[in-house]
A and B are shown apart, each in its own frame.
Chain A
Amino acid sequence: MKRLSRFRRHRAVAPLLLVLALFSIGTTFSVAGAATSSPLTAAERSALIDEGQRIFLKGCSSCHGLNAEGGAIAPSLIGVGAASVDFQVATGRMPMADMSTQAMRKTPVYDEKEVEALAAYVASLAPGPGIPGEEHLNYERDGSTAEGGELFRTNCAMCHNFAGQGGALTQGKYAPTVMGVTPRHIYEAMITGPQSMPVFSDKTITPEEKLSIIKWIKAAENEPQLGGAALGRVGPVTEGLLVWTLGLGMLVGVAVWLAMKAR
């Protein structure tokens, strides 16, 4: 039986992957182009930076300081790099909606162009990790699922759970789910270490290994339910809950009917 090696090639998977790929290309193209292969002229570039500074002053400087030097409630952005800005702003984490323990993923406030400008501005302050280009994110070609799984379990599962569903950290912080995150943002998170997350250097987890991790995450994301309802993929807690509600509920229901006198 070779069914599982085949399900990835199943009818539904190909269009899905295509849509996913198109989506990530669509959202990344302009930014990625700007940061890496840079077809921009110097003039265009400085215009972009100016635009970014304008957005920054309006939307970010109240917390991060007029020159991105940081403040009482927000860190300095000097040297965090374009990748960090892209991750935080394009996933909607920044600007924060409120001063809660942790910035959440939400609908982005800025569009792609604005994120690109912001990233260019912050990158211009001091060198930092750049946004990975599309050609560096070809995880389907360069990654290995099984190896990625092993890397994920050693480096990521302790916070993000065995299936990437996320988990609790201390004092109300949490590791978010990695399901539904674009490959570029996953990559950026690993190299920049946003919020509670540590940095995973290119020397300890090589770029190819990072792509393997992404490939595994995408495989987990697209894995159909092999054994029925997934119950959140969080382990035995939900299984126990189901037994005490649905399982015992059905059985006791039948028992009550059984012992009821027929009329």
Chain B
Amino acid sequence: MTARERIAGSVANYVDERTGAAKWMKKNLTKVFPDHWSFLLGEIALYSFVILLLSGTFLTFWFDPSQREVIYDGSYEPLQGLEMSAAYASTLDISFEIRGGLLMRQIHHWAALIFMAAIVVHLMRVYFTGAFRKPREFNWIIGVGLLTLGIVEGFLGYSLPDDLLSGTGIRIAEAIIQALPLVGSYLAFFAFGGAFPGEAFIPRIYTVHVLLLPGAFLALITVHLMLVWYQKHTQYPGPGRTEKNVVGYPLLPVYMAKAGGFFFIVFGVTAFLGAVASINPIWLYGPYTPAQISAGSQPDWYMGWLDGLVRMAPPLESYIFGYTIPWNILIPGLIVPGILFTGMALYPFIESWITGDKREHHILDRPRNAPNRTALGVMSLTFMLVALINGGNDIIATTFDLTINQIMWFSRIGIFVLPPIAFVITKRLCLSLQRADRELVLHGRETGRLVMMPHGEFVEVHEPISPEKAWLLTQHEQNPPLALEESDLRGVRRPGVLKNKLRAHMSKAHAVSVPKATADDLKEIEHH
């Protein structure tokens, strides 16, 4: 035993005698993680969060979250002598007086954009592979919560510097609060400590941005990860992979080195963006005043869809008994996002209700084998994309020689028409991919080689695929739709017929598939 080993042993002994950690560590250090690039998308989000904590802490050392008016006397000449809030002035100071301050600001902002983008692609991976199914429904809901919090947290951070662009964003947020029936104007006055913009808002959202929401994030992320740990990761289908096992690399050392290394990669890429690409150049925007505005005032991308929805909303307002209900704000700003996010959070339960499937799933679906789900996902993404495009319609118009009116009308019609079209196309695409899978298993791979048969016919040589590949293409379950009786054994109609009809209908749509190839099919072909 070397000296180093002795020391390590005695430290381990010291800790274990006080915590009993050895038992736990033994089990967990040998924990196995399946390896796939798409399993790292969530890690990008996690690491971006750590980067946000680190760079954000740096920024707090100099940022002054106050709307007290100051005269700028820093080194950025085009703003010298102007009145501005201390928040804006201190952000300028971070950018120009603190060495590395601008770099940190840019890293923080890029990390925030990457954080949100990674959450979205992670969510897409989880959705399209069916990883949200039992037993992982809680984690799905936590994920939707993190996405929602991320949007709020990002918006607050974007608002803190109190520049012309972010002030415009706050102005719009205030209008949404103010639009709420009954309590709107009261809530707005409470939030802003009086009339907009007041002097209370920035200090308040600062506390929420650096304390309350990061705390909530930490708690939710911890639970999210603990559940992943405890429930063990899902895995893609393949030879040797079953619902009962996990195939992958042990935590120590392979996974730890890879995951740890990946943290540095994410940080490095973020720092690279912070070094080479300017983000949120607040010194160009100028300090906020409500009488000024810039062309192309947009939020960050994760709010862009919301802005796009608000832009395309019809000019509707109701006046009832002397009270105003601004539907043009409420529908795109609150009602539609509310329905979308609630629907998203409840999706695992909706799907399980439709399929009647209450079993655990640890093997992921190939998206083509769940055509209905995949089509629904693409449909939702299409909806979001149309809204997002409309959110940047002015920039798109000037870049591609279009008119904002054209893009607006395209979006107004497209938001209703394109998602269903996307649904139908995706579903058909999934089914033809299933058909192609079946063909591949039964007839093998086309080699491109032509052979002349004795009677003169040319045929292409097909090569049988490997048993591993054949298994991958046929391992999925194909369950029949739910059989829901409209009446019970005695012929009495059951309660909730309508609900059952709907459920049966959806279940049937969900179960549409091309029969997968079986060993029997293969034998039959061999006989011919």
Contact = CB atoms under 8 A, between A and B. Distances in A.
Note whether A and B contact each other (Cβ less than 8 A).
yes
A234 B281 contact: no
B243 interface: no
Nearest to B80: A146
A157 B265 contact: no
Given A146-B80, A239-B280, A240-B300, A258 B295 contact: no
Interface in B67-115: 74-82, 95-97, 99, 102, 106, 109-110, 113-114
B292 A157 contact: yes
Interface string B367-395: 00000000000000000000000001111
A2 B262 CA distance: 39
Interface in B288-314: 291-301, 304
Given A158-B295, A161-B294, A228-B278, A150 B269 contact: no
Tier of interface size on chain A: 35 or more
Contact of A145 (B77, B261, B275, B304): B77
B121 interface: yes
Given A162-B286, A248-B117, A167 B76 contact: no
A236 B96 contact: no
B156 interface: no
Interface in A146-179: 146-147, 149-150, 153-154, 157-163, 166-168, 170-172, 174-175
Contacts of B497: none
A154 to B, nearest CB: 5
A4 B96 contact: yes
A255 B258 CA distance: 10
A246 to B, nearest CB: 7
Interface stretch (A40-48, A87-95, A108-116, A219-227): A219-227
A98 B396 CA distance: 23
Nearest to A163: B284
Contacts of A254: 262, 265, 269
Contacts of A97: none
A230 interface: yes
A172 B403 contact: yes
B79 A171 contact: no
A239 B78 contact: no
A241 B280 CA distance: 14
B93 to A, nearest CB: 10
Contacts of B79: 146, 149
Given A168-B404, A251-B269, A244 B117 contact: yes
Contact of A1 (B96, B121, B262): B96
B278 A240 contact: no
B397 interface: yes
B172 to A, nearest CB: 14
Task: Tell me the interface secondary structure of chain A in the complex.
Answer: helix
Contacts of A171: 403, 405
A243 B117 contact: yes
Given A231-B277, A248-B114, A259-B35, A170 B404 contact: yes
B468 to A, nearest CB: 14
B285 interface: yes
A143 to B, nearest CB: 12
A150 B286 contact: yes
Interface residues of B, number: 77
Contacts of A258: 37, 40, 258, 261-262
B395 A234 contact: yes
B290 to A, nearest CB: 11
A227 B398 contact: no
A58 interface: no
A8 interface: yes
Contacts of A73: none
A252 interface: yes
A247 interface: yes
B506 interface: no
A248 to B, nearest CB: 5
Contact of A161 (B35, B36, B38, B296): B296
Interface string B217-257: 00000000000000000000000000000000000000000
Contacts of B269: 247, 250-251, 254
A110 B293 CA distance: 37
A12 interface: no
Contact of B301 (A174, A228, A236): A236
23 contacts: A1-B96, A4-B77, A4-B96, A159-B295, A160-B295, A170-B403, A170-B405, A171-B403, A172-B397, A228-B277, A235-B165, A236-B280, A236-B299, A238-B395, A240-B113, A243-B301, A247-B114, A247-B270, A250-B269, A250-B272, A251-B269, A252-B37, A258-B261
Interface of B: 35-41, 44, 74-82, 95-97, 99, 102, 106, 109-110, 113-114, 117-118, 121, 164-165, 258, 261-262, 265-266, 269-270, 272-281, 283-286, 291-301, 304, 392-395, 397-398, 401-406
Given A4-B74, A167-B398, A233-B281, 18 more contacts: A5-B75, A160-B295, A172-B406, A175-B295, A227-B278, A227-B279, A228-B275, A234-B395, A236-B301, A236-B304, A242-B277, A243-B273, A247-B270, A250-B269, A250-B272, A252-B41, A258-B262, A259-B37
Interface of A: 1-5, 8, 145-147, 149-150, 153-154, 157-163, 166-168, 170-172, 174-175, 216, 219-220, 223, 225-231, 233-244, 246-248, 250-252, 254-256, 258-260
